[in-house]
């Protein structure tokens, strides 16, 4: 008998999950004694408890109970190169040869800077830091210093880090910024808001594709309007490409041919080690140049840590080359189309949004997803949780919020396993989907 309601279906999947994962559960309980919520990242929690991961290789991860999953989460888009022992050995050997804590600048930091600046059109100079959040804080600080204006335009649903969250409400831990909010992809509405606040706005902070809100691509007209308004009114335009910079060799700025004043980076660019960076126009970054009178000091013990600099340089130059980047994102476009065709053929209210190899499943009747409001209601969120737990039962690992991110390690067979698992889910829960969405 199929479960009649969504709550029952979820309960059923949670019971199956709990029974199958006694070691993860025990480890979660141990971890909760020392870590609030059993981890150090809210993102990785889902009820009843998250799988505790033991190791990874190739396209796969293994949990503590010994189950093997095809990893379509890729550490929330970091994992472009997969779990590649040969690449990791090469990086670790280089780190080991040079040593950590060298107490000064190193050649690898300049090499990584050159490589990133040569790929991303907006970057004449770049400054490294430790996370995407930090990169955004730095970009905002530079914009405020350059313009002398306090307010920042952000978009409803955007995520710029743990302290810069503008989901349905502002994140409770947000830094105290003066923000003005607009609707993503709303050209006329946003233009009016910019016009009204212009004298006060120092920065426009925007993801060229909303990531955490569900991989909602910004359309070219909207992003170009932001560029034009920023230029016209002397506002610093910041593209947060922490998630999107992997979607083309020069990021979405290159693909859309729209150049921001500053770009923030993170995730895969450190080769799997902690990473953040803010790059952009020479004149803005030069404010950090200690040779200039009146420069702005910006420290950070680990900004140039050897592991991230070497990891980033080797993985970007030897693994995630422009050619590999294009191939991976073309594969992602194919997968997304395949999943959407599957939904259309079976007439179920499911849509996969995104660009290239980063995408998100939604349970909605909308065919075009342009704003967070199009991604469905509370039932859509519950259905994503159900999908996540059900796919785990098929050895397929995606995020509980529906995020899917491909890496170079995925084979055609792996993609087939994902499509088959989604097909199985859709066929099993067709009636439920029809009732709930």
Ligand X SMILES: Cc1ncc(COP(=O)(O)O)c(C=O)c1O
Query: Residue 407 Cβ, how far from ligand X at the closest point, in Å?
Result: 16
Position 209 contacts ligand X (CB under 6 A): no
Whole-angstrom CA distances from 276 to 74, 160, 309, 324 are 18, 12, 11, 22
d(CA 119, CA 138): 21
Query: Residue 240 Cβ, how far from ligand X at the closest point, in Å?
Result: 5
Asked if the peptide bond before residue 324 counts as cis, ω within 30 degrees of 0, the response is: no
d(CA 191, CA 155): 13
Position 384 contacts ligand X (CB under 6 A): no
**Residue placing its CB nearer to ligand X in the complex, 217 or 266:** 266
The total of other beta-carbon atoms located within 10 Å of residue 417's CB is: 19
| Cα Rg, the chain, nearest whole Å | 22
Looking at 50, 56, 79, 161, which residue binds ligand X (CB under 6 A)?
161
Contact residues for 379 (Cβ-Cβ < 8 A; gap 6+): 6, 363, 436, 437
237 forms beta bridges with 204
**Residue placing its CB nearer to ligand X in the complex, 84 or 240:** 240
d(CA 24, CA 166): 32
**Residue placing its CB nearer to ligand X in the complex, 76 or 425:** 76
Query: Residue 43 Cβ, how far from ligand X at the closest point, in Å?
Result: 7
Position 271 contacts ligand X (CB under 6 A): no
Footprint of ligand X on 334-373 (CB under 6 A): none
**Residue placing its CB nearer to ligand X in the complex, 269 or 306:** 269
Query: Residue 159 Cβ, how far from ligand X at the closest point, in Å?
Result: 5
Q: x-or-dash pattern for ligand X, window 121-160, by CB under 6 A?
A: ----------xxx--x----------------------xx
**Residue placing its CB nearer to ligand X in the complex, 91 or 238:** 238
Footprint of ligand X on 278-317 (CB under 6 A): none
**Residue placing its CB nearer to ligand X in the complex, 202 or 211:** 211
Cα 286 to chain centroid, rounded? 28
Looking at 211, 214, 272, 356, which residue binds ligand X (CB under 6 A)?
211
Cβ-based burial of 324 (10 A; exposed 0-12, middle 13-18, buried ≥19):
middle
Residue 404's φ and ψ, nearest 5 degrees, are -125, 130
Residue 419's φ and ψ, nearest 5 degrees, are -60, -40
151 forms beta bridges with 201
Query: Residue 245 Cβ, how far from ligand X at the closest point, in Å?
Result: 10
Position 266 contacts ligand X (CB under 6 A): yes
For the beta sheet containing 396-397, the strands, ordered from the edge strand earlier in sequence to the opposite edge, are: 53-57, 60-63, 68-71, 396-397
- Closest residue to ligand X, based on beta-carbon distance: 132
d(CA 419, CA 394): 11
Count of residues touching ligand X (by CB under 6 A): 16
Looking at 13, 240, 374, 414, which residue binds ligand X (CB under 6 A)?
240
Position 207 contacts ligand X (CB under 6 A): yes
**Residue placing its CB nearer to ligand X in the complex, 240 or 414:** 240
Footprint of ligand X on 31-70 (CB under 6 A): none
d(CA 325, CA 304): 25
d(CA 265, CA 134): 10
Query: Residue 361 Cβ, how far from ligand X at the closest point, in Å?
Result: 17
Contact residues for 223 (Cβ-Cβ < 8 A; gap 6+): 206, 208, 256, 258
From 59-67, 106-114, 236-244, 355-363, span contacting ligand X (CB under 6 A) = 236-244
Query: Residue 424 Cβ, how far from ligand X at the closest point, in Å?
Result: 29
Positions in the binding site for ligand X (CB under 6 A): 76, 131-133, 136, 159-161, 207, 211-212, 240, 242-243, 266, 276
């Amino acid at each position: 008998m199929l479960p009649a309601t969504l709550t029952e279906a979820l309960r059923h999947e949670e019971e199956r999950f709990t029974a199958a994962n006694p070691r993860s559960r025990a480890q979660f309980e141990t971890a909760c004694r020392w870590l609030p919520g059993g981890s150090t990242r809210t993102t990785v929690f889902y009820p009843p408890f998250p799988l505790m991961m033991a190791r990874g290789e190739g396209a796969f991860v293994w949990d503590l109970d010994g189950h093997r999953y095809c990893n379509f989460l890729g550490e929330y888009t970091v994992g472009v190169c997969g779990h590649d022992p040969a690449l990791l050995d090469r990086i670790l050997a280089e780190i080991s040869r040079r040593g950590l804590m060298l107490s000064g600048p190193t050649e690898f930091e300049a090499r990584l800077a050159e490589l990133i600046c040569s790929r991303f059109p907006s970057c004449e100079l770049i400054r490294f830091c430790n996370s995407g959040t930090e990169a955004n804080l730095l970009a905002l600080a530079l914009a405020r210093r350059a313009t002398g204006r306090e307010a920042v335009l952000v978009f409803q649903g955007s995520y710029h880090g743990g302290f810069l969250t503008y989901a349905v409400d502002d994140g409770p831990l947000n830094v105290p910024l003066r923000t003005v909010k607009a609707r993503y992809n709303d050209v006329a509405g946003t233009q009016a808001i910019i016009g009204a606040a212009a004298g006060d706005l120092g920065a426009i902070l925007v993801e060229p594709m909303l990531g955490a809100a569900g991989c909602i691509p910004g359309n070219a007209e909207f992003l170009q309007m932001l560029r034009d308004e920023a230029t016209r009114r002397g506002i610093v335009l910041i593209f947060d490409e922490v998630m999107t910079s992997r979607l083309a060799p020069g990021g979405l700025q290159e693909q859309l041919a729209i150049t921001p004043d500053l770009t923030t980076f993170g995730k895969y660019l450190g080769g799997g080690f902690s990473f953040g960076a803010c790059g952009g126009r020479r004149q803005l970054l030069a404010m950090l140049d200690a040779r200039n009178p009146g420069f702005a000091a910006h420290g950070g013990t680990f900004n140039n840590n050897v592991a991230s600099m070497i990891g980033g340089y080797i993985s970007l130059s030897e693994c995630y080359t422009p050619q590999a980047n294009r191939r991976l994102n073309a594969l992602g476009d194919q997968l997304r189309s395949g999943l959407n065709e599957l939904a259309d053929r079976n007439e179920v209210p499911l849509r996969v949004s995104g660009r290239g190899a980063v995408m998100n499943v939604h349970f909605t009747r909308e065919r075009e997803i342009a704003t967070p409001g199009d991604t469905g209601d509370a039932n859509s969120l519950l259905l994503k949780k159900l999908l996540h737990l059900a796919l785990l039962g098929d050895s397929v690992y995606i995020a509980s919020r529906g995020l899917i991110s491909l890496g170079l390690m995925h084979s055609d067979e792996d993609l087939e396993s994902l499509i088959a698992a989604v097909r199985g889910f859709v066929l099993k829960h067709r009636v439920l989907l029809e009732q709930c969405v």
